[in-house]
Structure 1
Amino acid sequence: MLLFDGLLYLDVQKTGSTFVTAFLQACCRRPQIHYHQHDRLRSKLPAGTVRVISVREPLAQYRSLFRYGLDGKGGLYHRLKDAGLTEVYQPTQEAFETFVEILLQPETAPLLHDSFEPVARKFDMGMMSFRHLLLAVKWPLATLKRLPRDGLVAAYPRLRLWSEALRQEDLVADLQALVARHPDLFDLEAAEAFLAPKARINRSDRGAELSTDLPAPLMARLLQREDLIYRTFYPHLLPEGQPT
């Protein structure tokens, strides 16, 4: 979580949050009040605060996590290592699909987050939706415990903290639009310079050839478990005829 006077950023993991944080710290005109990476909001915000969250298509997040683990990095890699599951980290499509299957199993939930299992079982929820909700809703664990099993989708619009969303797939364009909507918050020249095209550095190529074209049953399960994110931010990726 990154908080300025008048601006809150909820930095969900693996959604371009490092880039967004650097942009805001370089370009926001307002004084920074607090920063704790991937932390939750626990205090009341002043009226008028612009509340921003970053999101990413869940399947792309699974792929990114898998590629990160191929380099032996990340908290998830070490949790799976402790559970004796690191043999899944092979740079093959079959291994990636097995990785997705493992993460979608409710039995794996305790390995992914200490508080995830009851939420995963109650709402049939995937890891990416859970990570999102930890930051998108105030007092998320208590809130999810209180909600009925079938009440999350209907309640989410009134429970969410954010008013603006940045999609990792269109991050530069969405940041430019954010600046245009709130010019009083940003140094416009600094924002333009920061968002100018740059060469990407220190990018790992391991797993770059992995496809997100999963077998139909596995993809259907992923869509079901990550329904909240797809329904809210990526309804165009839902199967034709599925309600949004």
Structure 2
Amino acid sequence: MHAFHSLAYLDVEKSGSTYVSQFLRDFLDDDEVSFRKHVEVEDRPPAGRLHVVSVRDPLDSYLSLYSYGCQGKGGLSGTMRDAGLGHLYDGTAAGFDRWLDVVLDPASADALNPRSYARTGVAPHTGLLSFRVARLTVPRALRWLRRVGSSEELVAGYRELSVVDVVLRNESMTQDLAALVRRDDLAWRPSRDAALAALAAQARLNTSSRLDADAGFAVPADAWERVAARERLLTEVFGYGAHLTSTSRDSHATSAA
């Protein structure tokens, strides 16, 4: 979590969080209170503070995580390699297909990162990416997640308990950040216009080198359906009802939770 007095950014992994945190440091006219990457919101968040989260299409996220892991990077790659699953990171489409099967299987939760995914016992009811969002955005999230008994309960509980006020979607990050800058309840330095100008000059948000950018890497035809079946929080709450990718086309999204 990246906290200021007026705003807290809930930095979901691989959603553009490094870029967003740097933008806030550069332009938000407020004192930084704390910065601990990918840490849960406080048990009792301060009243009146705006809570912002960034999210990403779940299939796009899994492709990015796989590509990152093939470079030997990332916490997920580390825990999977420690569990003897390093052979899945072979950089091929077939390897991604096998890797995705493992990551989506609740029985593999002990091999995934963060470890709290397995410890809460919620893996049968939600995929890893939806868990990562829920963990960061609900006060006392791990206590709540231990009580979740179905994917329907997870979605309903998130709608009731989440502190999120503003959503930044990776696929429309520049537009969504511009909408954040235009809010009347936040101040920007040296000015709002300067922050907007910086966004206008910013090229497409840089994503990690992606294996599926290679024409020879064919994403499995059923990959989206498999992912969507496990990531209901992202599909139902955040509008990812169809595959959107920052590497192939832009989408138009709002910045309202």
TM-score (norm 2): 0.83
Q: 2:164, 2:77 → 1: CA distance?
A: 29
Match of 1:215 in 2: 221
Match of 1:185 in 2: 187
Q: Aligned ranges for residues 1-244 of structure 1 at < 5 Å?
A: 1-112=1-112, 113-117=114-118, 118-121=121-124, 123=125, 125-149=126-150, 150-182=152-184, 184-187=186-189, 188-195=192-199, 196-198=201-203, 204=209, 206-209=211-214, 213-216=219-222, 218-237=223-242
Which stretches of structure 1, 4 residues or longer, exceed 6 Å deviation after superposition?
199-202
Q: 2:2, 2:205 → 1: CA distance?
A: 24
Residues 53 and 168 of structure 2 are in contact (CA less than 8 Å); yes or no, is this contact kept in structure 1? yes
Q: Deviations over 1:6-38 (max 9, x none)?
A: 111100100000000000011101111111111
C-alpha spacing 1:236/1:127, structure 2 compared with 1 (3 Å): closer
Residues 12 and 135 of structure 1 are in contact (CA less than 8 Å); yes or no, is this contact kept in structure 2? yes
C-alpha spacing 1:69/1:17, structure 2 compared with 1 (3 Å): same
Secondary structure at 2:157's aligned position in 1? helix
Q: Which amino acid aligns with 1:120?
A: A
Instruction: After TM superposition, give the deviation of residue 203 of structure 1 in Å.
Output: 5.2
Residues 5 and 32 of structure 1 are in contact (CA less than 8 Å); yes or no, is this contact kept in structure 2? yes
Q: Which amino acid aligns with 2:3?
A: L
Larger CA deviation: 221-230 vs 150-159: 150-159
Segments of 5+ residues of structure 2 without an aligned counterpart are 244-257
TM-score (norm 1): 0.87
Q: Which amino acid aligns with 1:194?
A: A
Instruction: After TM superposition, give the deviation of residue 215 of structure 1 in Å.
Output: 3.0
Instruction: After TM superposition, give the deviation of residue 212 of structure 1 in Å.
Output: 7.4
Residues 134 and 158 of structure 2 are in contact (CA less than 8 Å); yes or no, is this contact kept in structure 1? no
Q: State the identity %.
A: 35
Q: 1:184, 1:115 → 2: CA distance?
A: 34
Secondary structure at 1:13's aligned position in 2? coil
